[in-house]
Structure 1
Amino acid sequence: DKTVESSTTYLYVDGELVAQDDVGVMAPHQTNTEFFEYTWRLSGKEDEIKVVADGDNSVDEENEDNNEKIEYVTATQTGQPDLVIADIFIGGDHVYYRIQNTGEATANTSTTTLTINGEIVATNTEEEIPPGEMLTRSFTYTWTPLAENETRIVTVTADAANTVDESDENNNQRTETFAETGTPSTATGDIDLVILDIFLSGNQINYRIQNLGSEQVMSSTTYIYVNDELVGVDQVGVMAGGQTNTEGFDYPWQSLREGDIIKIVADGPNNIQETDELNNEKTYIVS
């Protein structure tokens, strides 16, 4: 019989708190229709949905035992999955790839293969991938430095065993060519690479890199991490002493959540002997 100034409703899916909703003033006996900002994953399995009024127990109520309601829901899928390889990159002695389900349904367990110069050298098993989700993974395969004038043709194939019924069966492969250019991979002298700032625009993670030293660096490799997971590598060209470059890396950062951490590391593989080896990193917290 009293007005409630405000309250917070909690949403749980299979026992995990996934969203909250702030409810405004409610007069006695008033009924509101509210909703949660939450992206539903269509798993095809039965899920427990629990909604709890006054989830943080901040309202002193006459009855504290009737705030919950539980429903069991089975969400059925429409459409089909579609697995694609969004990127291939080398990090240290590992071959990395990004696999994405661009379809409208969950992709069941599948197999991804790594082929180098026509020979399959490694295989991964992928767990279920929901619609829209992208994963960065690496193969159990040791990548060795390219010899002089060597070229390697690297192909990664999603759903290599063709066990997933997809909306497009012709876009599972991605091929990249890695070649030794003859440019020295190491450098010494008065060189000092730093990341000045990080910013997001379009579908790219962008950053500004500067050579604080006085000597030219022929090339360098930047590593991009999300929540301490290596998600990409960016090759930076010649930089004179004092030069600043603005670089960009294709990545669907819109899928990141508040609090996720992007870290960019200049000279990620530590190939360059710098005057200061402790200032190569910069982080950005998604807000």
Structure 2
Amino acid sequence: MMFTRRRLLPILLLLLTVSGILIAAAALYIRSAPGVPVLNYHQVEDKDGNPLTLHPEQFAAQMDYLAAEGYTTITIDEMLDAAEHGAPLPEKPVVITFDDGYDDNYTNAYPILKEHGFKATIFLIYDFTDTYPGYLTWAQIEEMKESGLIRFESHTMTHANLAQLTSIDELRHEIADSHDLLSEKLGYDMQYIAYPGGRVNKEIECITRAAGYRGGFTVHCGRSTPEDGIYQMDRIPIFGANMHTLTRFKLRLALAPLIEPLEDLRLSLRAHGLTGIADWMPIP
């Protein structure tokens, strides 16, 4: 049956109405969704093709955007104090984190953060620090620490896949020893750990708690909601090879509550062998 213009009009109006309702519902859900965006970076340098790398000009544009939009950087302690004790937060809080402790965090990211007066946390791999080329030195760490802007926490001893370690002693070495050695080196107790690759389970969580950490972070995409579990807190990964457009950053920052269930669905599809469908999903 052919549709005349007269018959198409109510169909189009219905589609527009449904679309408007869905958009309004999504906007309401995002506004009411709990949690604080915790951004997860790694390297900031001029390198192409590395999925962990952000170019300095891209990082600068993202920090400029946060400043222009009225975001206030807070510490992880401030985020947990708000969740656990009702401490006040600024209207648009954001936490900035870096994993691994690359030296470009000092040479490239730190000057940009300092320009805006932004706070950040860098998770260090103890055995890599001041040991291998491309990683921070203790002198660089001390300078950043003295600025009052940068906090350092644990990313384990060797960046091992914790979920694949079968020995309790190995797990304690990675988690507890990094806590104690970094605390001694930096002059304050380590409060947080970022699990390498985000891999964590109940046993790892138990050892983390016993080691004296206040909380732990994965790389599961979503706003951080300490109320749902302080030892498996979400972050918003900001990496993906050459996909670091400012538009993509804005979408991930704004739509994290919607991206989270989509990421879960994609992981489930891959776990069931439906990789093609998972890769097709248009997630920013």
TM-score (norm 2): 0.25
Q: Radius of gyration: which is bigger?
A: 1
Higher helix share: 2
User: Which protein has the bigger strand share?
Assistant: 1
